[in-house]
Amino acid sequence: MSNELLKIKNLKTSFRIDDEYYAAVDDVTLTLNKNEILGIVGESGSGKSALAFSIMRLHTRAKIEGEISLNNQNIVKMPKSKLNKIRGDEMAMIFQDPLTALNPLMPISRQIEENLFLHNKKLGQQGRKKRTIELLNLVGIPRPERVYEQFPHELSGGMRQRVIIAIAIANDPELLIADEPTTALDVTIQAQILDLIQELKQKIHAGIILITHDLGVVAEMADRVAVMYAGQIVEIAPVDKLFANPLHPYTRSLLNSVPTEGQDRLHVIQGVVPTLKNLPRTGCRFAERIPWVDASHHEENPDLHEVEPGHFVRCTCYKHFYFPDNKEEQENGVS
């Protein structure tokens, strides 16, 4: 039996700006297995959230092309009524900011029970209460009976994020998308929430997409990592391979911007992801940030190449890339 949960093929998500469509996600192809955490990393504006929102079909005005299938059901073509059935049930999302994701006027109990009610009409009032307390326990909330009665403002940021997670997992989703789930939290709480997500993978066996700009988080949590730049996946690999042998110039730049022990200097590539309207649409999208790499080394239509099993990198420029301030690499040449 296949272990594949989610399959995305040639996904293109475009937003309309001044009467024209611009793709924020372009030619994304990936799969996610059951019981797997796929980390998605990239700078702000690289298209991570646009990808997550496309999978959940939460964009109201975007044009979505290509294929997204969850358990062999095509999400791109799915009618609203069916989508409403599977969102919050088969697939769920944990959002960045626990304060805006909760309704300040509703007690915690109702916010969780509403999700149970929507997807499991057979569960009576007592059943819903029992399950809600069970969920609060599962996400590590002490004294769940008390929190059950409380309102969001009565809880700390970390507790609110646990409630968000309880809502997301209420109906045992098979796919869980966590979009920067710890950005709004302080460091110690961040670690607890990440531990919780890791634990949940074991308990509910969900496939998890973890979006973050924090490479330390993916190193710790993910089984595989996809690196996004300017709407495209530029490298995807099992986590140990990506960290041991990063290939794409952008991946290397991201990794080099994180200080590590014994490294005397950081080789950093200047610049930022261009805005959506100004994204390069042809050739290697990263070329303009590495002008010292000869144009002939970039592919005209850069594709993902499998360099070792499960390790894919886009464009052949990685073979000729070096950091200009890294004399050693420059002198020895890169193969």
Ligand X SMILES: Nc1ncnc2c1ncn2[C@@H]1O[C@H](COP(=O)(O)OP(=O)(O)OP(=O)(O)O)[C@@H](O)[C@H]1O
| Residues that bind ligand X in the complex, under the rule CB under 6 A | 15, 17, 24, 42, 44-50, 213, 275-276
Query: Least distance from C-beta 24 to ligand X, angstroms?
Result: 3
96 vs 111, which CB is nearer to ligand X? 96
The span from the CA of 313 to the CA of 307, in Å, is 7
In one letter, which amino acid is 217? V
Query: Least distance from C-beta 319 to ligand X, angstroms?
Result: 27
Q: Is the dihedral of CA 47, 256, 284, 69 positive or negative?
A: negative
Please tell me whether residue 305 adopts helix, strand or coil conformation.
Answer: strand
234 vs 293, which CB is nearer to ligand X? 234
Q: Is the dihedral of CA 283, 286, 291, 294 positive or negative?
A: negative
Element (H, E) at 244: helix 239-244
101 vs 141, which CB is nearer to ligand X? 101
212 vs 256, which CB is nearer to ligand X? 212
101 vs 139, which CB is nearer to ligand X? 101
The span from the CA of 123 to the CA of 125, in Å, is 7
Query: Least distance from C-beta 181 to ligand X, angstroms?
Result: 12
Query: Least distance from C-beta 272 to ligand X, angstroms?
Result: 11
15 vs 117, which CB is nearer to ligand X? 15
The span from the CA of 103 to the CA of 60, in Å, is 21
DSSP 178-206: EESTTTTS-HHHHHHHHHHHHHHHHHH--
DSSP H helices, 14-102, are 48-56, 80-86, 98-101
The span from the CA of 1 to the CA of 23, in Å, is 35
- Give the C-alpha distances (Å, rounded to integers) separating 197 from 100, 207, 267, 295: 20, 11, 33, 43
Interior angle at CA 94, CA 10 and CA 55, nearest 5: 15
Element (H, E) at 208: strand 207-211
Query: Least distance from C-beta 145 to ligand X, angstroms?
Result: 36
Query: Least distance from C-beta 46 to ligand X, angstroms?
Result: 4
Query: Least distance from C-beta 221 to ligand X, angstroms?
Result: 17
170 vs 178, which CB is nearer to ligand X? 178
